[in-house]
Structure 1
């Protein structure tokens, strides 16, 4: 009589460890980038190489578009320093509308990479615990589901929420990928327009020997409309809470 082959008890543990690997790579990449790239991806680097970049754009526009998208996605996916420089560069190289489109596409793609990496590991564990929870935890889950879209848009529109945090938190609480994707793409448009518009006039700034002034983001004529959009995103949450439809 043949005995059953002994089961490999290390496989579940190995599988559990591997699902944390994507997020671990993102964190390691972020730490390595913070230590090595902070002085490289700068406006000074762009100033020193602008003639070469513009010449390459004129000779191989599609190649520069693909290279720009790839670099920007890597910057966002690994939370590397230089996202603001990349956004301004999009306007400098491609103009307002094409630059905004490319900036939104790249930033959204990078955000989805972080979201999927986090959801595969910590997000899966935390979501399972929330799903198995009772009482207040379950009420919190229900409240988040009812206001998922509004909360996601608010995370994108509020200027003080770091982009990495707005990518990570939704994955940890079980937000749907489709909702995360389209609210990210829509919610970052106002900020992308501002950064890209700064890049459009970057050539003149460089010619004067100056650096771009990113404090423009906090100018009343810029921050005012963005805060107005924040209020619109928060209004449905407030209304549902006042009507008693959301219990937190």
Structure 2
């Protein structure tokens, strides 16, 4: 049996196993329950905890494990906005690039067979708008995050362009999400939910896709 096929099957089995094993723990309820304990640990082991979070986030993204959104919010609550922005921005892009590479070199047949019907739209978008199309998807994901990573691996786009475009394109959304996460950390009672800062953060989270779509529609003719 082809070595690439064997590695691809092992990777696919790992993704399924990790998704089943750990997705049940990556919930908002569990994150809030563990927050106090984690805060106490981080206070005395900041560097190790930050590194662990960083590499765990890479793994979650690379293996497409459900719950990345919760881990993002938890990171903001535990490490603060700026530290978590640095961690999540780079970790998510590195993880996405690993998924991109695994699709290109190991899981190509599986991705093509399972999601190939969506590849036509991706190829047309890249042919028309180039990297700007990926940039648009990162700002307003028409397809799920993990699917963008896998499908892009089947296109001619270079790894360097994929990484750089993803790094820049995901940054605004990451910042908005992490800002909401810092506000979640302040909610200790029902009254905290209606505080101005919390309401403003979640309003921004809801309006962000609408605003970015408007900006993209304005910029696209210029970029073409």
TM-score by length of 1: 0.72
Distance 1:73 1:57, change over 3 A: same
Instruction: Measure the CA separation in 1 of the matches of 2:123 and 2:171.
Output: 28
Structure 1 residue 51 displacement after superposition:
1.6
Structure 1 residue 42 displacement after superposition:
1.1
Q: Is the 8 A contact 1:96 1:196 kept in 2?
A: yes
Distance 1:215 1:203, change over 3 A: closer
1:156 to 138, 162, 173: 138
String of CA shifts for 1:5-48, please: whole Å, max 9, x gaps: xxxxxxxxx4xx22244543443233223333332111222122
Q: More helix by proportion, 1 or 2?
A: 2
The worse-fitting range, judged by mean Cα deviation, of 37-46 and 83-92 is: 37-46
2:186 to 197, 200, 204: 204
Structure 1 residue 102 displacement after superposition:
0.8
1:121 to 87, 92, 106: 106
Alignment length, in residue pairs? Answer: 210
Instruction: Measure the CA separation in 2 of the matches of 1:85 and 1:143.
Output: 30
Q: Is the 8 A contact 1:116 1:171 kept in 2?
A: yes
2:154 is the alignment partner of 1:169? no
Q: Give unpaired runs (5+ residues) of structure 1.
A: 1-13, 127-136, 240-248
CA RMSD of aligned residues (A): 3.3
Instruction: Measure the CA separation in 1 of the matches of 2:26 and 2:123.
Output: 40
String of CA shifts for 1:167-195, please: whole Å, max 9, x gaps: 01221012101000001111111210121
Q: Give unpaired runs (5+ residues) of structure 2.
A: 112-119
- What is aligned with 1:78? 63
